[in-house]
A and B are shown apart, each in its own frame.
Chain A
Amino acid sequence: GENVEQHPSTLSVQEGDSAVIKCTYSDSASNYFPWYKQELGKGPQLIIDIRSNVGEKKDQRIAVTLNKTAKHFSLHITETQPEDSAVYFCAASVWGNQFYFGTGTSLTVIP
């Protein structure tokens, strides 16, 4: 089955700096890659997703890149703000079927 690895497990950045979280996957059939943000006491919320027919997607300060050859994808957050502090999860899926989640990255933005 699919195996998703996520790094780093914890990340601290100064407010205004950029944050990058990386995930690798093992199943070359995976073609849908969502990213979730989980704040304390809440369920994960989708922040951005990418399908295998594109290499990059951007939504304001958030971007995701996908390298199908190397089987990795990354989340980029620019101009970080304290409210970006949360746990971030990546996931991989084949056509939106069973999701395989990474182990999460705890991001702290220091004011």
Chain B
Amino acid sequence: EADIYQTPRYLVIGTGKKITLECSQTMGHDKMYWYQQDPGMELHLIHYSYGVNSTEKGDLSSESTVSRIRTEHFPLTLESARPSHTSQYLCASQTLQGWETQYFGPGTRLLVL
């Protein structure tokens, strides 16, 4: 059973607000990921990190930013939320060892009004 947590689970917020989506894992995994999942359920990689102080942008352009100051923590921040940011955000983690799976958190469903 994977131990990866996301908070909040649901968030309704007005346009222009700054928000931070939290993701934590207790497995000591070096790799962590953020995906955006659209209503059609397709997963799009927006950010990833292979360790502390390492962050990269994914395939899908995103106005969000991430940080990795601690191994277990990988928060995602939107400086100014817009309705186009409405989506489900999934966090995942993975060991550095090859041929291993990614473990997903329960997701944060964001609605920007």
Q: Judging by beta carbons under 8 Å apart, are B100 and A96 in contact?
A: yes
- B contact residues around A96 at 8 Å (CB): 94, 97-101
B90 within 8 A of A: yes
Q: Which residue of A lies closest to B10 (CB)?
A: A41
A31 near B107 with CB under 8 A, answer no
Closest CB in chain A relative to B99 CB, distance in Å = 5
In the complex with contacts A43-B106, A98-B48, A38-B41 CB distance below 8 A: yes
A44/B99 in contact, CB under 8 A: no
Cα–Cα, bound, A42→B107 (Å): 7
Q: B19 at the A/B interface (Cβ < 8 Å)?
A: no
Q: Which of A31, A36, A38, A45 makes the CB contact (< 8 A) with B99?
A: A31
Query: Are A43 and B107 touching (Cβ within 8 A)?
Result: yes
- Asked if B45 and A51 make an inter-chain contact with CB atoms under 8 angstroms apart, the answer reads no
Tell me the residues in window 63-80 of chain B with beta carbons closer than 8 Å to chain A beta carbons: none
Q: How many A residues touch B, CB cutoff 8 Å?
A: 24
Other-chain residue from B41, B48, B100, B103 in contact with A87 (beta carbon distance below 8 A): B41
Q: Interface-forming stretch among A11-19, A75-83, A101-109?
A: A101-109
Q: How far is the CA of A31 from the CA of B100 in the complex (A)?
A: 11
Tell me if A101 and B101 are in contact (CB < 8 A): no
| B101 touching A46, Cβ below 8 Å | yes
B102 to chain A minimum Cβ distance, whole angstroms, is 6
Contacts of B40 in A (CB 8 A): 103-104
Contact of B104 among A32, A41, A44 (CB under 8 A): A44
B98 pairs with A101, CB closer than 8 A:
no
CB of B43 within 8 Å of the partner chain: yes
A42 partner residues in chain B, CB cutoff 8 A: 106-107
Please tell me if the beta carbons of A89 and B101 are within 8 angstroms of each other in the complex: no
Q: Contacts A38-B41, A43-B90 given; indicate if A95 touches B105 (C-beta within 8 A).
A: no
Chain A to chain B: the 4 pairs with minimum beta-carbon distance, closest first: A43-B104, A95-B98, A104-B41, A101-B43
* B interface residues, Cβ below 8 angstroms from A: 6, 40-43, 45, 48, 59, 90, 92, 94, 97-107
